[in-house]
């Protein structure tokens, strides 16, 4: 319990934290098998050789819910939030050894909603891959916690996230204004079956894979706040 409390305290203070051994080897194998079967169906539908991402993951693979939301995972969320939370977004990312990319420093400023509506303080609307995205008020972004479940051991050489500690405390922080004379960079290496917690306003990036090892991650976002009506979370899922 002391380790968990220290993990949550670091998340609040630094904007990120890592806790390993959240899932057993057997649990990770079940999750991977479930996604692998679904990925085969996606490849068939899209005529693709490889699936790099599956968005709206819980809607497309609902059987994942029982595999992911274990007793240990619920205990983690209970300590992260002071009240009942719910899932707002779920994405599966696969950065394979033979074909990969880098991601420049950024904050996650957009949420997925069920419609486009002119609502005060909801700005920068987008429509991508069949869903609406919008930048909500700061208090919504500050309430979200991202939980990244690592299905592979993730190191600096295969795309572990780089973060700028405490950048989540500075509101909207444009990457082009980063002052590297005062900021530091931290690489978040995570064991297979481990979890990385992150505030969406934490500046983060990742390099290309150089060690020819796969990096598969489940990107899950949770919140306790409802949106301004009539907007609803596109991927709302009660726990």
pLDDT at residue 159 in the model: 87
Assess contact for 150 and 194: CB atoms under 8 A: yes
pLDDT at residue 51 in the model: 61
- The pTM is what? 0.93
Which CATH number does the domain housing residue 152 bear? 2.60.120.620
Q: Would you write out the chain's pLDDT as a tens digit for each of its 239 residues?
A: 578 889 999 999 999 999 999 999 999 999 999 999 888 766 555 545 566 889 999 999 999 999 999 999 999 999 999 889 999 999 999 987 665 678 999 999 999 999 999 999 999 999 998 899 999 999 999 999 999 999 999 999 988 999 999 999 999 999 999 999 999 999 999 999 999 999 999 999 998 888 888 899 999 999 999 999 999 999 999 98
Assess contact for 197 and 16: CB atoms under 8 A: yes
Written as one string, the DSSP assignment of 56-110 is SHHHH-TTHHHHHS-HHHHHHHHHH-SS--EEEEEEEEEE-SSS---EEEE----
pLDDT at residue 100 in the model: 67
Which pair of tokens denotes residue 224? 């306790």
Q: What percent of the chain has pLDDT over 90?
A: 80
Q: In this predicted model, what pLDDT tens digit does every residue of 42-87 receive, in sequence order? A: 655 554 556 688 999 999 999 999 999 999 999 999 999 988 999 9
**The total number of structural domains that make up the chain:** 1
Residue 220: which domain range? 2-238
Assess contact for 151 and 31: CB atoms under 8 A: yes
């Amino acid at each position: 319990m002391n380790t968990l409390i220290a993990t949550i305290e670091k998340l609040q203070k630094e904007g990120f934290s890592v806790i390993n051994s959240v899932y057993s080897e057997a649990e990770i194998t079940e999750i991977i098998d479930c996604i692998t079967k679904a990925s085969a169906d996606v490849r068939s539908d899209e005529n693709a050789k490889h699936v790099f991402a599956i968005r709206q993951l819980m809607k497309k693979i609902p059987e994942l819910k029982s595999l992911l939301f274990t007793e240990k995972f619920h205990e983690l969320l209970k300590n992260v939030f002071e009240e009942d939370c719910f899932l707002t977004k779920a994405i599966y990312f696969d950065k394979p050894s033979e074909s990969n990319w880098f991601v420049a420093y950024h904050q996650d400023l957009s949420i997925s909603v069920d419609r486009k509506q002119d609502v005060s303080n909801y700005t920068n609307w987008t429509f991508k891959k069949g869903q609406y995205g919008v930048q909500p008020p700061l208090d919504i972004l500050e309430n979200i916690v991202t939980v990244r479940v690592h299905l592979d051991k993730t190191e600096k050489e295969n795309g572990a996230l780089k973060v700028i500690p405490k950048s989540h405390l500075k509101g909207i922080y444009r990457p082009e204004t980063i002052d590297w004379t005062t900021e530091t960079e931290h690489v978040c290496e995570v064991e297979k079956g481990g979890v990385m917690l992150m505030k969406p306003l934490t500046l983060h990036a990742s390099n290309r894979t150089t060690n020819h090892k796969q990096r598969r991650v489940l990107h899950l976002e949770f919140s306790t706040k409802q949106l301004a009506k009539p907007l609803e979370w596109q991927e709302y899922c009660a726990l």
